[in-house]
Structure 1
Amino acid sequence: DPEARRSFWELIKVLKAEGKTILLTTHYLDEAQALADRVGVINNGKIIEIATPETLGGRNNAPAKVTWLENGTKQQLLTKDPTIEVIKLNQKFGGSIPELEVLRPNLEEIYLKMIGELK
């Protein structure tokens, strides 16, 4: 239930702030992304990779999806350097970029890619 999950997350955060080491197993990768300093992926009983949530499976190097609204149409592009693209859009629009979003793959998407590559 959502209330119990929130309480559990708060407990983990308190223990983490106290410097405690916590070994958490979960199938909820949003939970791992929110709570963990390091995550490990296990497939068929073998550790595939251990890394930070930001770097697991090359997540930090994965292309970012930049989306915005232009002339009533949603536009998007994939880029390794979203900062440059946002600067270009900022110049093009003269400031505020309508409905701008910059997203990298989340931990679940990276996990599914990693496991898919092993099959």
Structure 2
Amino acid sequence: MKKIVPDPPAEKTTETEPSSEQFKDRSALYRAIDFYLTGKQPSPPDELRFYNVSEDVSFEDAQLYLADLLRCASVSADQCGDHLKGADRAMVFSVWHLLEIAKAMVDRSIDCLGVKPSG
């Protein structure tokens, strides 16, 4: 028996996250563009960063901002967990718990500095 329709092509797996090879390729592209446009290459730690913090930000200010970010993330996780059930709820509350631990450590480091948190 002959097939009228050929076998379908092999399924390609679509990755939701870029592979390390894609990051290396993108990093090389950005280094080349930076070199040819500005004449200087970026420092290695800045190659894959999405956000950079100004050199003018003090340690104390960074800690206070970090405490605020952790507080916001914790509230978000708590609110999301309230609307879930079962394993999904347990997973979100696990993340919430880890955020609370991280926030407690940051708050303690701020206390050691003698700086009062804003929130």
TM-score by length of 1: 0.24
- Structure exhibiting the larger radius of gyration computed from Cα positions: 2
Q: Choose between structure 1 and 2: higher strand proportion.
A: 1
